[in-house]
């Protein structure tokens, strides 16, 4: 079956961007460069981190006694995180150009040059919302008892002696999270910096993942581990972790994507 004209155009557009080879442990260097950028513009970085941590705290407060909802809400929050990191990308980009970024740089990043970044953000929000609803429905329908606390979730879902609810919940979550992550590894910085279609940016991101499975797997692990560490500190750690990951993600994009010849 031949691809539709829009798909062919997006594929052609995505091939304008090459993929650079990187060693398996390169994600550690991205974190080091992200840490450097964070402290080169600490105020706008940490204020953004604080804002995102407050969103996480709000989710925790609203769903404190509804862990059946909280489990899906936090994992759904991770699905939309790449678009929420747009401000960090803008700060790192400004530093790269030798400028002194500030909160104005962040504000400007949220007024994209075209609607593609907005469209992609809405698609990620839709995916995150869909997972929250599916997760909540699955747990409330099949858990042997009401799930209101983390202890209930651990006892009645994770360690349940009968059934495979936890395994099904994990499998469904992975089924959604894996393609979303693969679609966003470099797509958001591409859309922020280049005028291109959402589908073309997604195709470019998938090509990066397929050509670099080992470093991208390590990168996914580091993102998950650091985010969970930030959440485990009652969201306080996210104030530092999210800026670090946001800046590092910009350097991952720069490292992995070769722009068309003649572009700087």
> Which secondary structure element, helix H or strand E, spans residue 18, and what is its range?
strand 18-19
The predicted-structure confidence for 68-83, as pLDDT tens digits, reads as follows: 788 888 888 888 889 9
Tokens of residue 102, six digits: 């500030």
For residue 159, pLDDT over 90 is answered with: no
pLDDT in tens, 31-82: 999 999 999 999 999 999 999 999 888 888 887 778 878 888 888 888 888 9
Phi, psi of 148 (to 5 degrees): -120, -15
Write the pLDDT tens digit of every residue in 191-233: 998 888 999 999 999 999 999 999 999 999 999 999 989 988 8
The confidence band for 99, taking pLDDT boundaries of 50, 70 and 90, is: very high
What pLDDT is stored for residue 77 in this prediction?
A: 83
The 3-state secondary structure of 111-161, one letter per residue = CCCCCHHHHHHHHHHHHHHHHHHHHHHHHHHHCCCCCCCHHHHHHHHHCCC
- How many H-runs (helices) and E-runs (strands) does the chain carry? 13, 2
Distances (CA, A) of 243 to 104, 198, 249: 17, 24, 10
Question: Left (φ > 0), alpha (ψ -120 to 50) or beta: where does 262 sit?
Answer: left
Q: How far is CA 66 from CA 146, 148, 247, in A?
A: 9, 4, 33
- Least confident range of 161-170, 218-227, 246-255: 161-170
pLDDT at 220: 94
Radius of gyration of the chain measured on its C-alpha atoms: 19
- Band of pLDDT at residue 264, cut at 50, 70 and 90: low
Q: State the CB neighbour count (10 A cutoff) for residue 137.
A: 12
- Please state, for a pLDDT cut of 70, what percent of the chain lies above it: 96
| Mean pLDDT, rounded, of the chain | 90
- pLDDT value, residue 261: 62
Q: Measured between alpha carbons, how far is 150 from 65 in angstroms, rounded to an integer?
A: 9
Q: Residue with structure tokens 């993600």?
A: 249
**Residue with token string 């009968």:** 162
Greater model confidence, 155 or 63 = 155
Structure tokens at 220: 């996914």
pLDDT of 75:
82
Between residues 229 and 163, which one has the greater pLDDT? Answer: 229
What residues form DSSP beta bridges with 19?
A: 257
pLDDT score at 263: 60
CB 231 within 8 A of CB 238: yes
pLDDT at 112: 65
Confidence of residue 3 (pLDDT cuts 50, 70, 90): low
State which H helix or E strand residue 257 sits in: strand 257-258
Q: Provide the pLDDT for residue 163.
A: 78
Look at residue 182 in the predicted model and tell me its pLDDT: 95
Euclidean distance between CA atoms 204 and 189, whole angstroms: 11
- Residue 176: which region, alpha, beta or left (left: phi > 0; alpha: psi -120 to 50)? alpha
């Amino acid at each position: 079956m031949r691809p539709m004209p829009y798909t062919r155009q997006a594929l052609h557009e995505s091939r304008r961007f090459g993929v650079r080879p990187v060693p398996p442990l390169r994600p550690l260097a991205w974190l080091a460069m992200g840490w450097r950028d964070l402290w080169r513009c600490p105020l706008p970085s940490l204020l953004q981190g604080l804002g995102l941590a407050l969103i996480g705290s709000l989710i925790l407060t609203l769903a404190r006694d509804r862990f059946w909802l909280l489990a899906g809400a936090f994992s759904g929050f991770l699905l939309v995180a790449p678009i929420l990191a747009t401000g960090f990308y803008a700060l790192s980009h400004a530093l790269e150009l030798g400028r002194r970024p500030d909160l104005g740089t962040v504000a400007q990043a949220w007024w994209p040059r075209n609607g593609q970044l907005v469209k992609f953000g809405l698609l990620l929000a839709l995916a995150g919302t869909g997972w929250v609803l599916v997760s909540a429905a699955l747990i409330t329908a099949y858990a042997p008892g009401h799930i209101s606390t983390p202890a209930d979730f651990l006892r009645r879902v994770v360690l349940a002696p009968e059934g495979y609810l936890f395994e099904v919940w994990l499998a469904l979550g992975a089924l959604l999270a894996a393609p979303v992550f693969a679609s966003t590894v470099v797509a958001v910085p591409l859309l922020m910096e280049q005028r291109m279609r959402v589908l073309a940016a997604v195709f470019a991101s998938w090509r990066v993942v397929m050509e670099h499975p080992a470093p991208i797997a390590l990168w996914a692990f580091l993102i998950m581990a650091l985010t969970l560490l930030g959440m485990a500190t009652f969201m306080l750690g996210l104030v530092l972790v999210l800026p670090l990951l946001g800046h590092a993600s910009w350097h991952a994009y720069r490292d992995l994507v070769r722009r068309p010849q003649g572009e700087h």
